[in-house]
Amino acid sequence: MIALVDSNISNIGSIANMLNFLDIDFQLVTQPEELDNCDKIILPGVGAFDSVMSSLRTSGMDEAINEQVQVKGKYYMGICVGAQLLCQSSEEGKLPGFGWLPLTVTRFDAQQVARVPHMGWNHIEPGHNSALLHNMDEEYARFYFLHSYYIPHDDKFSGGVTRYGALFSAIAQRDNYFGVQFHPEKSHKYGMHLFQNFEAL
């Protein structure tokens, strides 16, 4: 069963709707102890880095997620800001992230791109061992993005990259945890396929 964590700062309803449509077994989780009932974790988040992390800290969910992922080895997928929390820190805020990746979330340079935020459909170039893109039509696969900050590309931690001014990790991954900068719940059949791939891990 997948734990869908409600951070109080996310578009959790649309994700739940897609999981229900796909008949994926999940539990909406609001309390840290509920994570014990699940073998995978999805953490969505929208808005500011510090706001999402502060909400997790208030409930004790940050420590619980860290234990479940780092100690017990459960699979984790963060979406949007939930992906950025994999990193040590963000230029957007002052609070530390989970720190599972030795990276700093960076803001797009408005001098290098048409506009900030990066908004709309974009393609992903798969990285090495890209489990979330398994059996996907890579030439045509595209996903919906909406973000002003990004996870810098590092080949050691990348399951897929996209270029918008800078080259960034659209999918960050390491060991049993993943972060997707795009919104799979808004990405139609490609998002559905990605959720199914995560369930199958």
User: Which amino acid, 70?
Assistant: Q
Give buried/exposed letters for 137-168 (b at 16+ CB in 10 A, else e).
eeeebebbbebebbbbbeeebbbbbbebeeeb
75: β partners? 40
pLDDT of residue 168: 98
Query: Which pLDDT belongs to residue 72?
Result: 98
Mean pLDDT of 105-116: 94
Query: Cα torsion for 157, 163, 165, 166, to the nearest 10°?
Result: 10
Q: What is the mean pLDDT of residues 166-194?
A: 97
Residue range 14-52, pLDDT digits in tens? 999 999 999 999 999 999 999 999 999 999 999 899 999
pLDDT band at 59 (very low <50, low <70, confident <90, very high): very high
Contact partners, residue 154, CB within 8 Å, separation at least 6? 101, 103, 169
CA pair distance 54, 80, nearest whole angstrom:
16
CB 38 within 8 A of CB 74: yes
Tell me if residue 125 falls in helix, strand or coil: strand
pTM: 0.96
Active site residue 185: yes
Which CATH superfamily does the domain covering 2-200 fall into?
Answer: Class I glutamine amidotransferase (GATase) domain (3.40.50.880)
pLDDT over 70, % of the chain = 99
DSSP label of 86? T
Residues 6+ apart with CB under 8 A from 111: none
pLDDT above 90 covers what percent of the chain? 90
Render pLDDT for 117-146 as a digit per residue (tens, 0 to 9): 999 999 999 987 789 999 987 767 899 999
- In the predicted structure, residue 152 carries a pLDDT above the cut 80: yes
What's the distance, CA 191 to chain centroid?
12
- Catalytic residue among 80, 92, 147, 193, which? 80
Annotated catalytic, 80?
yes
Asked if 179 contacts 173 with a C-beta cutoff of 8 angstroms, the reply is yes
The two tokens of residue 52 are 């999402």
pLDDT at 128: 74
Catalytic residue among 92, 147, 153, 185: 185
**Higher-confidence residue: 43 or 9?**
43
Q: Is the pLDDT at 75 greater than 80, yes or no? A: yes
Cα-based torsion angle of the residue sequence 149, 151, 153, 157 in order, rounded to the nearest 10 degrees: -170
> Is the Cβ–Cβ distance between 52 and 81 less than 8 Å?
yes
Mean pLDDT of the chain: 96
Q: Is 193 a catalytic residue?
A: no
Of 87, 183, 193, 199, catalytic: 183
